[in-house]
A = this chain, B = another copy of it.
Amino acid sequence: MQSDGPIPRLEETPGGCCGGGSAPGLPLERATDLSESLQVLGHPIRLQILDILARRGGEVCVCDLEAALPVKQPTVSHHLRILREAGLVGAERRGQWAHYYVCPDALSAVETEIRAWFQSVG
């Protein structure tokens, strides 16, 4: 990596060209954590699912979601699972229907996370 070059040089500023060393204000761990939240939201179907669930204050069954979305039922279930595993929605089986609802706490936790990042950047 640096042993084969015939020019050892002397390293001045660690950055090398334009200023101070780059202290990682955002540790990789926190960046990864936040990016995972953003990725869960980063799909149009999942945004629409959350929108529908929120717009109906109550619970919505999968068949209704399927009817409102441009994807087939397995795909709806797939996205619901992702949202569920992220804690953003919950489900309750009632009869043969599964009723989904948003988890406002988790959602506002993500909102807080995102807002804090924007504040630290902007």
With both beta carbons as reference points, the residue of chain B lying nearest to A60 in the complex is identified as B18
Q: Which residues of chain B are within 8 angstroms of A122 by Cβ–Cβ distance?
A: 54, 104, 107-108, 111
Indicate if the CB atoms of B67 and A52 lie closer than 8 Å: no
With both beta carbons as reference points, the residue of chain B lying nearest to A31 in the complex is identified as B44
Indicate if the CB atoms of B115 and A102 lie closer than 8 Å: no
Cβ-based interface call for A70 (8 A): yes
Chain A: number of interface residues, binned into ranges: 35 or more
A82 to B84 Cα, complex, angstroms: 29
Cβ-based interface call for A16 (8 A): yes
With both beta carbons as reference points, the residue of chain B lying nearest to A47 in the complex is identified as B31
Cβ-based interface call for A5 (8 A): no
Q: Which residues of chain B are within 8 angstroms of A31 by Cβ–Cβ distance?
A: 44-45, 47-48, 51
**Between-chain CB contacts (< 8 Å), 17 pairs:** A15-B61, A22-B65, A23-B55, A23-B68, A24-B52, A25-B51, A26-B48, A28-B44, A28-B48, A32-B44, A35-B42, A36-B42, A38-B38, A38-B39, A38-B42, A111-B118, A114-B114
